[in-house]
C-alpha cells in the first residue's frame, strides 16, 4: 500500500468528486413528496428509480476510483460509495431528520410537525429504513467490487527485487549509523505483518459495533440536532474502528465495515420494539432511531475506512522503526 503525496491528491480528487456529485445531483434526482421529510430513498414517488440512479453514480465513481487508486490503496473501494452517502447525509441535514415524521405536541403555540405519510406506521417506517440500509450496503459492495475489478484489469507492476520484506531491502534502505532523519522512508507500506485470521476479523467486527454505538450514545447525549447526530455517529465509529484495529490488526477492513450496517439494523429493530411498547405510538424515537441509513453508510462507513487507513499507517510506521533498528544492529 502506497501513501505518498500523489496518492493523497488522487484520493482527495476521487472522494471529493464523489461527495460533491451526490450532494449536488442526488438532491435533485431524489424527489421528495414533502420538503420537511428527510432524505429517504424508499419514501419517494419513484423509489426504484432513486435506487437505480444512486447505484449508477456509485458504480461510475467506483470505476474511477479503481482506475486511479486500486494499486495504491487496495481497500479504497469502500471509501468511494461512503463518500457519496456522506454527500447525501449533508444534503439531508437541511431537510430535517426523523423527528419530522413524528408530530410534536402543540404546546405554547409550537406548530405541529408533519405527521407520518398516510397509511405508514412507525413499524413500517423503520422497516423501510432497514430495507434502504441493506440497499445502500449492497450498492457499496457493488462499487467496491467494481473498483477492485478495474484494478485487476490494469497491467501489473513489475516486481522489485528489493521487496519491502527482504533483508537486502532493509540494508539498502537503512544505512547503519546514520541519523534517523537521513533515513529514506519506503514508498510502500507492507501489509504482510497484518493478520488474516477469522477470529481477528470477528473481534474487529464486535469491537467496532459495540464500542461505536456506546460512544455514539455518549456523544449524542439527549440532543436531536441533525449535525450532532452525524458528528456523534462518525466520531464514535472512527474511535471504535481505530482502537479495534490497533488491538486486532487485520489485513482487511471487512469486519469493521460489516459492523456499520449491522449496528444500524440493531438500532432500527430496537426502535421498532420500543415503538410497539409506547403509550403514544407517535412519540419521537430515542437516539438509537435518529440516524438515517445515509448516516450509517455515510459518516459511519467513511469513519471506519479512515480509521483503517490511519491504523495501517501507524502500524506501518511502527514496523519501519522496528526494521530500522534491526538493520542498524546487524
CA distance 253 to 72: 16
Contact 153, 71 (CB under 8 A): no
Distance, CA of 183 to CA of 175 (rounded, Å)? 7
Query: pLDDT: is 80 or 188 the higher one?
Result: 80
* Residue 53 maps to a domain: yes
* Choice between 165 and 7, residue whose per-residue pLDDT is larger: 7
pLDDT band with cut points at 50, 70 and 90 for residue 312: confident
Grid cell 445531483 — which residue? 25
Residue 166 lies inside a defined structural domain of this protein: no
Select, from the ranges 101-110, 166-175, 230-239, 318-327, the one with the highest average predicted confidence (pLDDT): 230-239
Q: Confirm whether 159 is domain-assigned.
A: no
CA 106 to chain centre: 38
State how far the alpha carbon of 290 is from the alpha carbons of 44, 126, 234, 240, in Å: 19, 11, 14, 20
Does residue 108 form part of some domain? yes
163, part of any domain:
no
281 contacts 218 by C-beta, under 8 angstroms: no
Q: Which of 28-37, 94-103, 183-192, 280-289 has the lowest mean pLDDT?
A: 183-192
DSSP 8-state assignment for residue 143: H
Q: What average pLDDT does the chain have?
A: 76
**27, containing H or E segment:** helix 5-29
Residue with the larger pLDDT of the pair 192 and 38: 38
195 beta partners: 250
164 within a domain of the structure (yes/no): no
Specify the higher pLDDT residue, 138 or 125: 138
Sign of CA dihedral 170, 175, 178, 182: negative
158 located within any domain: no
- pLDDT-wise least confident of 1-5, 208-212, 239-243: 1-5
Least Cα distance to 51 among 18, 33, 34, 29 occurs for: 29
Residue 44 or residue 289, greater confidence: 289
Domain count, the chain: 1
Range of the domain at 124: 5-153+171-329
188 φ, ψ (degrees, to nearest 5): -110, 150
pLDDT (tens digit per residue) in 253-273: 899 999 999 999 999 988 877
Domain for residue 105, yes or no?
yes
Nearest 5°: the CA angle 75, 76, 79 is 120
Dist CA 223 CA 118 (whole Å): 28
pLDDT, residue 137, reads 94
Please report how the helices 254-276 and 198-220 are oriented relative to each other, as an axis angle in degrees rounded to 10: 50
Amino acid at each position: 500500500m502506497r501513501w505518498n503525496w500523489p496518492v493523497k491528491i488522487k484520493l482527495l480528487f476521487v472522494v471529493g468528486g464523489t461527495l460533491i456529485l451526490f450532494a449536488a445531483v442526488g438532491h435533485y434526482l431524489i424527489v421528495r413528496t414533502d420538503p420537511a421529510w428527510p432524505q429517504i430513498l424508499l419514501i419517494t414517488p419513484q423509489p426504484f428509480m432513486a435506487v437505480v440512479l444512486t447505484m449508477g453514480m456509485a458504480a461510475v465513481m467506483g470505476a474511477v476510483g479503481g482506475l486511479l487508486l486500486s494499486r495504491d490503496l487496495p481497500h479504497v473501494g469502500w471509501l468511494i460509495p461512503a463518500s457519496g452517502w456522506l454527500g447525501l447525509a449533508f444534503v439531508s441535514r437541511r431537510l430535517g431528520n426523523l423527528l419530522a415524521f413524528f408530530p410534536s405536541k402543540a404546546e405554547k403555540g409550537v406548530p405541529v410537525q408533519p405527521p407520518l405519510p398516510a397509511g405508514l406506521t412507525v413499524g413500517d417506517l423503520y422497516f423501510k429504513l432497514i430495507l434502504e440500509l441493506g440497499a445502500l450496503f449492497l450498492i457499496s459492495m457493488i462499487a467496491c467490487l467494481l473498483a477492485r475489478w478495474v484494478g485487476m484489469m490494469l497491467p501489473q507492476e513489475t516486481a522489485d527485487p528489493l521487496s519491502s520484506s527482504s533483508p537486502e531491502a532493509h540494508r539498502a534502505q537503512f544505512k547503519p549509523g546514520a541519523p534517523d532523519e537521513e533515513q529514506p522512508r519506503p514508498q510502500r507500506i507492507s501489509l504482510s505483518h497484518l493478520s488474516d485470521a477469522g477470529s481477528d476479523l470477528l473481534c474487529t467486527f464486535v469491537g467496532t459495533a459495540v464500542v461505536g454505538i456506546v460512544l455514539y450514545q455518549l456523544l449524542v447525549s439527549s440532543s436531536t440536532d441533525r449535525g450532532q447526530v452525524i458528528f456523534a455517529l462518525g466520531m464514535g465509529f472512527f474511535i471504535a474502528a481505530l482502537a479495534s484495529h490497533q488491538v486486532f490488526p487485520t489485513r482487511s477492513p471487512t469486519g469493521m465495515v460489516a459492523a456499520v450496517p449491522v449496528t444500524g439494523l440493531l438500532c432500527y429493530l430496537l426502535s421498532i420494539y420500543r415503538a410497539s411498547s409506547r403509550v403514544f405510538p407517535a412519540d419521537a424515537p430515542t437516539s438509537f432511531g435518529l440516524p438515517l441509513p445515509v448516516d450509517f453508510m455515510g459518516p459511519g462507513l467513511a469513519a471506519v475506512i479512515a480509521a483503517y487507513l490511519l491504523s495501517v499507517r501507524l502500524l506501518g510506521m511502527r514496523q519501519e522503526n522496528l526494521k530500522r533498528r534491526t538493520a542498524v544492529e546487524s
